């Protein structure tokens, strides 16, 4: 399974990447995607989007999905 991974704002700076592309047969959910890119657990308040829509960490991902991780939003 091939997943495009994106990071925004403070999380982008902490991870040190804007985008990553991962290939793995062991990925079922967004949580698995995070574990594939980071050794530390994802902070509870961090947010997840799959294909540009909010999702939970336990949501299933599919081949070709874009999965994004980012901190609480501060616009407006």
Partner 1 sequence: MRVEIRATAFDPWLEVAAFRRDHLAAGRIGASAVFVGTMRDFNEGDDVKSMVLEHYPGMTEQHLETMTQDAISKHHLSDALVIHRVGTILPADDIVLVAAFSAHRKEALIACREMMETLKSTAPFWKKESLASGERWVEKNTAG
Which residues of this chain interact with partner 1, rule CB under 8 A?
Answer: 6, 8-10, 49, 52-54, 68, 70-76
Query: Token pair 């495009």 is at which residue?
Result: 4
User: What is residue 27's three-state secondary structure?
Assistant: coil
User: To the nearest whole angstrom, how small is the minimum distance from the Cβ of residue 26 to partner 1?
Assistant: 26
| 61 alpha-carbon distance from chain centroid | 10
**C-alpha–C-alpha distance, residues 7 and 19, integer Å:** 6
User: To the nearest whole angstrom, how small is the minimum distance from the Cβ of residue 39 to partner 1?
Assistant: 22
Q: Judged by CB, which is closer to partner 1: 24, or 43?
A: 43
User: To the nearest whole angstrom, how small is the minimum distance from the Cβ of residue 3 to partner 1?
Assistant: 16
């Amino acid at each position: 399974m091939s997943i495009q991974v994106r990071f925004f704002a403070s999380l982008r700076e902490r991870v040190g990447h804007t985008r990553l592309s991962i290939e793995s047969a062991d990925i079922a959910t967004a949580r698995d995607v995070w574990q594939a890119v980071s050794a530390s657990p994802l902070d509870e308040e961090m947010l997840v989007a799959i294909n540009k829509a909010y999702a939970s960490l336990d949501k299933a991902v599919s081949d070709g999905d874009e999965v994004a991780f980012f901190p609480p939003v501060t616009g407006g």
